[in-house]
Chain A
Amino acid sequence: MAVIEVEKLCKRYGDFDALKDVSLAIEKGEFFGLLGPNGAGKTTLVRILTGQLALTAGRARTMGISPDEPVALKMKVGIVPEAESPPTFLTAIEFLQLVCRIRRLDGMDDRVARWMDFFQLDEKKDVLCRDLSKGQRQKVMLAAAFISEPELLILDEPFINLDPIFQKRLREYLQGVVKEGRTVFMCSHILEMVEKLCTRLAVINQGRIVAQGTLDEIRSRQGERLEDVFMRLVEAG
């Protein structure tokens, strides 16, 4: 069953084509990586898939739901945006409680306690989010995405600002998510992480998907490193 289906998707800003004929199908239980240089269209695609942005042409479905139904779509997906932006005047606990209420989750206290503990945010539990460090704010955003244990996680640069300890912890958690049969869609510039985690990936350049498949499928020769694959595909575009 495809949890993300995209057919001939286009997104245009005036005369500029941010996305051109993008087609993707991501199956349940995959760990899918989307790679691309800066400005290639990764975040635009993520924003469309999560109902934050309207598409210009083509078709997209996330968990079977159109981006034109953003509330219903977001209810089924855990999303981490490109930039951390937790609420200015709420504490981390209050924000996670708010997310539980919005998503109508039961067992709120246990869920909040689990994720505060997971990201070691307890010591900062009564600090306003605006006064947290960048890494701590990123942890709050990750916790808000994970707290509902959704079937699909869409993560835009989830490892950014995290220290190596939490990068490892997050990596192990995401691997566990996929083992449970859930799906992860991740954009990242950390090629080493993508190579370790992703079962399948796509490379986007100038708004077009220039390659997709398993790492072996997009390699031009045996043993080619992902960095070399990436450079070859992007420079060819």
Chain B
Amino acid sequence: MVGQNAGDGKPDEPAPEGRGRYLGGWTYNLPADEGPSPLALPWELFKAMFREEWRLHKSFVGSVGSGFFPVVIFFFSLVLAATSPVILRNIDQPTILLGLHIAAILYGLGVGALARIGEQVMTRRLGQVNMLLQLPSLQPISFKTVMGVFFFKDAAYYILYSIIPLVGGIAAAMPMTRITPQGAATLFVTMLLTFMMGMALSFLLSALSIRSRAASGAGALVILILAAAAWPLRLISPGRLLLPLGFWEDHQPWQLFASLVVVLVLSAGAIMLMKERFAPPEKRYASRLVPLEATFAFSGDMRTLVAKEWIELRRSGALGAVFTGFLGPLLGIFAIIWIFSRGMGVPLDFNVVFYGGILGFLGLMTYSWLTNLEPNEFLNVQPVGVDRVIRAKLVLYFLLTTPVSFAYIALIGMLNGELSLVPLGALVGFSTMVYVAAVAGRMTGLRANTMLFDANVLGRFSAAIIPPLIAVTLISFWIEKSPLACWISLGLLSAGLLVASRSLFAGLGKRWGHEPFGI
């Protein structure tokens, strides 16, 4: 019995000597004759980890912000589902389901690299963050057990935090759409299984990478080949790879059961691959700060901090992720639009100016990555304010995104035969990127990754970002009908965004100058 003495409903009392166990603030008493249940400890650990996860989120954005995140997801999903008969009228149901399940597996892949997190915690590479994952360092419990519990805790947390609100929003739109209760329930099951398959796969690959990077790379290659076989090669149906998606085609219950087996097998494999002990790593590097100051001399008195940021970006291994996080979605959006317009015959006349607007929004991910490398707590005792580090990160942000953005706009211009619109697309892209970075810097500082989970910040951020992006999108649709009016209005809009950005940059010191560094 956990938290209370069995049967009597009274608060905890000291366990009888030799029979009680204590963990994370809860006492539970073991039955006198039966011995410890094999599931008692994992269950206790699961609850403790779940609380830890909730408190970690709460420490980032507060309980209100953290609690409202699923609410935001719910309403976002509700609005999208309710308007889908209009905005998705030319897209058939299998395509919508394919999109939802691809999103679910990508989400699972994104949050499932648990083995690497485990390794980093065990080798004290997560800075000041100490977690229950570290228990095996000092307590008589295996790391494999802890990682197994951690996997299911993470799955449960993210399902509650995002999958349930997402499907709940779709279900709530039933009266306004043709979605049936059975359809919503099926969607919940298939998306949940797809998400967990992604998580388990990512967990397995990350566990494999701890044993052998080559094996992990080979595993990732196999997955890419299978994905390519589904699309663009069309050698295999996506439903054969994503069994929960296949259920929508074949309606065979074994597909759901097999999906669950896949999740269990992959996660069990990952747990078996986990090491119990980690050798403390020691990477050595030649000093690069001073040489890089010369490289970044153009940034004036920011050059030292920009050099520091660059070093951290390279050594943390995040540079690839930053590029992929920016370029990947850009290419993905172009690919999706191309598929719809050329592959499915759905006319989507997005011109190069529209893509310019998209650049700004995706730039947010790059800024978020850049602020997620190092808490910089050591700077709390040095004469430098948070606003200076924000500025250094923004310099790096522009260095990384500007060439990619201009190349992207030029490429789209060529592919669409709209070279004359490239200068306008570049102007719109540049101004929205600057504006989004300025708003993100001003509102989230060095905590973009966590503060955007705060419903209050997310609401204000959306209010600042969405209207100009909608304006850019709407004006871009009119460019063939009224080119002069569009050029003028987009020019004025871009100028307005740049002026607003200047004001936001100027206010960084006032907003962040007195804030401490730290997560």
Contact with A along B111-130 (1 / 0, CB 8 A): 00000000000001101100
* Interchain residue pairs A-B with the least CB separation, the first 8: A79-B381, A74-B383, A101-B304, A75-B383, A89-B315, A126-B284, A94-B289, A89-B312
Nearest chain B CB to A71 CB, angstrom units = 5
Flag if A94 contacts B381 (CB, 8 Å): no
Flag if A87 contacts B384 (CB, 8 Å): no
The listed residue (B124, B382, B513) touching A103 by CB distance below 8 A is B382
The listed residue (A75, A80, A98, A144) touching B304 by CB distance below 8 A is A98
Bound: A85/B285 CA distance, A: 19
Contact with A along B308-328 (1 / 0, CB 8 A): 100110011000000000000
Knowing A89-B315, A90-B311, A97-B287 touch, does A52 contact B380 (C-beta < 8 A)? yes
Flag if A127 contacts B304 (CB, 8 Å): no
Which residues 367-398 of B have a CB within 8 angstroms of A?
373-374, 376-378, 380-385
Nearest chain A CB to B141 CB, angstrom units = 24
Flag if B373 contacts A52 (CB, 8 Å): no
Across chains A and B, the number of contacting residue pairs, with CB separation under 8 Å, is 105
The listed residue (A102, A125, A126) touching B383 by CB distance below 8 A is A102
Knowing A81-B380, A86-B378, A94-B288 touch, does A128 contact B315 (C-beta < 8 A)? yes
Nearest chain A CB to B53 CB, angstrom units = 23
CB-defined contacts of A70 to chain B, threshold 8 Å: 383, 385, 513-514
Bound: A115/B414 CA distance, A: 57
B contacts, CB < 8 Å to A = 124-125, 127-128, 280-290, 293, 304, 308, 311-312, 315-316, 373-374, 376-378, 380-385, 513-514, 516
Which residues 42-100 of A have a CB within 8 angstroms of B?
50, 52-54, 68, 70-75, 79-81, 83, 85-91, 93-95, 97-99
Judge whether A152 is part of the interface by a CB distance below 8 angstroms.
Answer: no
CB-defined contacts of B293 to chain A, threshold 8 Å: 101
Knowing A52-B516, A126-B285 touch, does A71 contact B384 (C-beta < 8 A)? yes
A contacts, CB < 8 Å to B = 50, 52-54, 68, 70-75, 79-81, 83, 85-91, 93-95, 97-99, 101-103, 125-128, 130-131, 141, 144-145
Bound: A91/B311 CA distance, A: 10
The listed residue (A50, A87, A98) touching B381 by CB distance below 8 A is A50
Bound: A127/B286 CA distance, A: 9
Flag if B284 contacts A127 (CB, 8 Å): yes
Nearest chain B CB to A86 CB, angstrom units = 5
Knowing A68-B514, A70-B514, A131-B281 touch, does A89 contact B378 (C-beta < 8 A)? no
CB-defined contacts of A98 to chain B, threshold 8 Å: 289, 304, 308
Other than A52-B381, A81-B380, A93-B289, give 17 A-B pairs with Cβ distance below 8 A.
A68-B514, A74-B381, A74-B383, A74-B384, A85-B377, A87-B312, A88-B125, A91-B284, A91-B285, A94-B289, A98-B289, A99-B382, A102-B382, A125-B287, A126-B285, A128-B284, A128-B285
Knowing A88-B312, A88-B316, A90-B311 touch, does A130 contact B124 (C-beta < 8 A)? yes
Flag if A102 contacts B514 (CB, 8 Å): no
Show 6 A/B contacts (Cβ-Cβ < 8 Å), sorted by A: A88-B312, A90-B308, A91-B287, A93-B287, A126-B285, A127-B282
CB-defined contacts of A75 to chain B, threshold 8 Å: 383
Flag if A87 contacts B304 (CB, 8 Å): no
Bound: A134/B384 CA distance, A: 25
Bound: A80/B287 CA distance, A: 24
CB-defined contacts of B383 to chain A, threshold 8 Å: 70-75, 102-103
A156 and chain B: residue at smallest CB distance? B381
B377 and chain A: residue at smallest CB distance? A85
CB-defined contacts of A101 to chain B, threshold 8 Å: 293, 304
Flag if B374 contacts A88 (CB, 8 Å): yes
Nearest chain A CB to B123 CB, angstrom units = 9
Flag if A89 contacts B128 (CB, 8 Å): no
The listed residue (A80, A83, A102) touching B384 by CB distance below 8 A is A102
Knowing A88-B316, A90-B308 touch, does A126 contact B286 (C-beta < 8 A)? yes
Bound: A10/B252 CA distance, A: 69
The listed residue (B124, B281, B304, B381) touching A81 by CB distance below 8 A is B381
Bound: A128/B316 CA distance, A: 11
Nearest chain A CB to B334 CB, angstrom units = 34
CB-defined contacts of B283 to chain A, threshold 8 Å: 127-128, 131
CB-defined contacts of B128 to chain A, threshold 8 Å: 83, 85
CB-defined contacts of B289 to chain A, threshold 8 Å: 90, 93-94, 97-98
CB-defined contacts of A128 to chain B, threshold 8 Å: 282-285, 315
Bound: A164/B216 CA distance, A: 45
Q: Which of B127, B312, B316, B381 lies at the interface centre, i.e. has the most chain A CB atoms within 10 A of its CB? A: B381
Bound: A86/B514 CA distance, A: 21
Nearest chain A CB to B302 CB, angstrom units = 11
